[in-house]
Amino acid sequence: MSGLAAALEVVGARWALRIVEQLLDGPQRYGDLQRDLGVPTNMLATRLRELETAGVLRRLPLKHNTRAYALTERGLALRGAIDALARWGSAHVGEPAAGAADPQR
Amino acid sequence: MSGLAAALEVVGARWALRIVEQLLDGPQRYGDLQRDLGVPTNMLATRLRELETAGVLRRLPLKHNTRAYALTERGLALRGAIDALARWGSAHVGEPAAGAADPQR
DNA sequence: CGCTGATGCTTGCAAAATACAAGTGGCGGG
DNA sequence: CCCGCCACTTGTATTTTGCAAGCATCAGCG
C-alpha cells in the first residue's frame, strides 16, 4: 500500500486530523476537545479509541474521573503534514480560484 | 475557520487526496484513475466534480469522447502536504508502535 | 449517609456519505 | 448498421456520521 493510503487509513476519518491538531498544543481533556472542536461526543470517543489503538495518542490518568489525551511520538510526527495542509487551506480556500471551473464560458 | 478545517472541507472527503496524488504524476483520464485507485466510479465522478468546482483540477478535452484531468496551480500546491502525509504513513503505520495502547500492562 | 454537580463516556435512532451493480449515451471503426 | 470503448448516471444496499438522551463514577457538602 502506498504511504498516503496507509496514512489515510489512520487519520483519514472525519475529525481525526482536527483532534491531532488540537493535541499539538499539549495534552487536553475530553471535554476541552469536545468544546474546542464542536465534534459530536460519540464520534470523539470513537476517534480517540482508534487513535489510541493506532499509537497516535495515549491516555494520561489525572485525578479520579478525569484524564488527559496526549500525542505519542508518532502523533507528534504528524505536525509537518498538518501544518502543510493548514497552510494550503489558508492560502487556497475561499479565494477567487484563478483557474476555476465554470462550464458556461 | 482554521486553515486545517478549510483544507479538509475541500480535500477531506474519501478518495480526494488519493485522486490528487495520482494527478501529481501528470494529467490522467477517467478510466486510468479508476483502475489505478480502485475507486467506485460514482465516487470518482462526484469527487472530480467537487475538485473541479473547488479549483483544484480542470478538465482537458482530448479527442471525441475522451478527456484528461489535470491539476491547477492550486492542486499542485497540495504536493507538499501530500508528500508529508505519505512519508508519515510509510514511517509510522504498521510498525510495532513503541508507545502503543495496551490496557493490559 | 444521601444529594448534587462535574466529567467521561454509551446507546438508540435518523440522516448523510459511500459502495456495489447495472445501465445510458456518444462516437469511431469495421 | 452494429460493435466496442469511454465517460459517466442511476438505483439500491451498507457503512459512517450526527443528534439527543441516558449511564457510571467520584468529590464535595450538609
Q: What was the pLDDT predicted at B101?
A: 44
Q: Is residue B104 less than 8 Å (CB to CB) from chain A?
A: no
The values of phi and psi at residue A23, to 5°, are -75, -15
**Do the chains contact at A93 and B53, CB–CB below 8 Å?**
no
What is the CATH class of B3-85?
mainly alpha
Beta strands in A1-105 (DSSP E): 28-29, 57-61, 67-71
- In this structure, the number of other CB atoms found within 10 A of the CB of residue B66 comes to 11
pLDDT band at B65 (very low <50, low <70, confident <90, very high): confident
All residues of chain B having their beta carbon less than 8 Å from the beta carbon of residue A14 are 12
State the amino acid at position A46 in one-letter form.
Answer: T
What distance in Å separates the CA atoms of residue B40 and residue B35, rounded to the nearest whole number? 10
Question: Which residue's CA shows the smallest distance to C1' of C18?
Answer: B43
Lowest mean pLDDT among A24-28, A67-71, B27-31, B59-63: B59-63
All residues of chain A having their beta carbon less than 8 Å from the beta carbon of residue B5 are 18, 89
* A95 pLDDT more than 90: no
Check residues A62 and A51 and name the one with the higher pLDDT.
A51
Would you list the domain boundaries of chain A? 3-82
Domain covering A3-82 assigned CATH 1.10.10.10 in the classification: yes
Q: Which residues pair with B71 in a beta bridge?
A: B57
Determine contact, residues B30/B42, Cβ cutoff 8 Å: no
Q: Which residues pair with B61 in a beta bridge?
A: B67
Tell me the pLDDT tens digit for each residue of B67-83.
999 999 999 999 999 99
